[in-house]
Amino acid sequence: MSPGAEESNGPEALSSGTGLHIVPHDKPSPDTMRHLWETLGTGAAWSPFQSPGFLNCFQLAMVPAVRGHLSVLEVRREGSSDPLLLVPVLRRRRGPFRIATFPDLGVADQCGPAIARAGEALSMSGEEFLEAILSRLPDTDLLEIRNMPGAIGGMQNPLAAHPLARPVISNLALDLQGKGDASAWRRKRVFKQIRSKWKMLRGSGVEFAECRTASEQRDLIDDILQLRQRRFQALGRFDTCQLPERQAFYRALTELAEPDNPTRGFALRCGDETVAGLLLLEHGDMVNPVLISIGAENWQRYSPGIVLMGQAIRHAEARGKRWFIFGTGLQDYKYRFGGTAFPMSDLVVPLTSAGELYLYLRRLKQIRKDLEATLPVFSRS
């Protein structure tokens, strides 16, 4: 029995008709999480948002805020002790509805399983994997997985291939080591502009800094959050990064020791002033920005955010990374860098009549919101 199996709520369960066993690990400890991911072996793949470090911090800071419950479902072939997939699941209530999702809550740009040995996993269909997973989700009204990558570390994500999965374009990525003319992205006009702006910034005393230690990264996060708060207040909008649980989550990430720590931090600084700051998560061949902000208005004519992003891209390429994934959102600047659609999909499966009702009520809410945005007569004001 692997470490953590004693944390399961029940015995190992065979998913009827699939030939798969599911071993649930409920509220896994950091040691259990680390061991489970190690059992995937050489060649396994997962995104930075399903790393043991990310999930441990998520369980510590984010899960209590929604009174939720984190589990890792270990998916094995019948008769084998080796996992095919590790599936992190967050279960929570939204009013009377019981929802199961992948750990997200606004801090994950990609949601997917951790995959071992592509050949074995791909020998079974998305339907078989989903049926097996659902067998260990009792008392659940709705399974909702958003922003699943079609491939993870070059390996097909079987859940994204499920017939009920619906393609979405929510993420753009830059292929730094792609086939053909891999240097084409470097010739984008934006990089010429970056060189010009960077020269002006350096002339004004700005320096590029990599934040390596936990202390440096905590200071960077504090700077980014403060700059974001000022910008959102000026726009009259609420910044969700000001939620205490989110701040605790990002700070917890910086406290992780190697190799569990997925964070990298970069900044443009003029003396003690932060001109722009950027926090990224990475794993394997993937790099994904998660927090960015820029400083005072007097710096904005130099486009410090674009300059810092360009520096981070070149830094990732120099370290042999393949994918620079810009994060959720289709902003114009991401296209300017050469970003293209990163195949993603959503999988939403109502499991009870209550789950159907939840989706219906959510659609009504969205219709009302759209009407309020377009027709003043529907506005609450």
Q: Render pLDDT for 54-77 as a digit per residue (tens, 0 to 9).
A: 999 999 999 999 999 999 999 988
- CA-to-CA distance for 182 and 163, rounded, in angstroms? 33
Split at pLDDT 50, 70, 90, the class of 368 is confident
For residues 153 and 45, the answer to whether their CB atoms sit within 8 Å is yes
Q: Which residues have CB under 8 Å from 136's CB, separation 6+? A: 13, 22, 24, 73
The pTM for the full model equals 0.89
Say what the pLDDT of residue 9 is.
Answer: 42
Q: What is the DSSP string of 304-362?
A: HHHHHHHHHHHHHHHTT--EEEEEES--HHHHHTT-EE--EEEEEEE-SHHHHHHHHHH
| Residue 230 burial (CB count, 10 A) | 14
Say what the pLDDT of residue 123 is.
Answer: 67
Q: Is pLDDT above 50 for 29? A: yes
- Which one has a higher pLDDT value, 155 or 326? 326
For residues 21 and 14, the answer to whether their CB atoms sit within 8 Å is yes
For residues 158 and 125, the answer to whether their CB atoms sit within 8 Å is yes
> What mean pLDDT comes out for the span 156-161?
90
Tell me the average pLDDT of the chain.
89
Say what the pLDDT of residue 379 is.
Answer: 55
For residues 310 and 274, the answer to whether their CB atoms sit within 8 Å is no
Q: Is pLDDT above 90 for 337? A: yes
Say what the pLDDT of residue 376 is.
Answer: 65
Split at pLDDT 50, 70, 90, the class of 327 is confident
> Could you tell me the maximum CA-CA distance found in the chain, to the nearest angstrom?
68
Please give the share of the chain, as a percent, with pLDDT higher than 90: 68
Left if phi > 0, otherwise alpha if psi is -120 to 50, otherwise beta: which for 345?
A: beta
Say what the pLDDT of residue 6 is.
Answer: 37
- Which one has a higher pLDDT value, 342 or 355? 355
Q: Which residues have CB under 8 Å from 184's CB, separation 6+? A: 338
In angstroms, the Cα distances linking 340 to 49, 80, 141, 274, 323 are 20, 40, 35, 30, 11
Instruction: Give the lowest-confidence range in 39-53, 117-131, 179-193, 240-254.
Output: 117-131
- CA-to-CA distance for 354 and 347, rounded, in angstroms? 17
In 3D space, the residue among 158, 127, 170 whose CA is nearest the CA of residue 288 turns out to be 170
- CA-to-CA distance for 19 and 155, rounded, in angstroms? 22
Say what the pLDDT of residue 17 is.
Answer: 56
> What mean pLDDT comes out for the span 79-95?
93
Helix-then-strand count for the chain, H and E: 11, 18
pLDDT tens digits, one per residue of 241-298: 999 999 999 999 999 988 889 999 999 999 999 999 999 999 988 999 999 999 988 9
Name the strand (E) or helix (H) holding 123: none
- CA-to-CA distance for 154 and 152, rounded, in angstroms? 5
Split at pLDDT 50, 70, 90, the class of 185 is confident
In 3D space, the residue among 62, 272, 43 whose CA is nearest the CA of residue 155 turns out to be 43
- CA-to-CA distance for 266 and 273, rounded, in angstroms? 14
Q: Is pLDDT above 80 for 188? A: yes
Q: What one-letter code names the amino acid at 286? A: M
| Residue 205 burial (CB count, 10 A) | 11
Say what the pLDDT of residue 181 is.
Answer: 63
Split at pLDDT 50, 70, 90, the class of 7 is very low
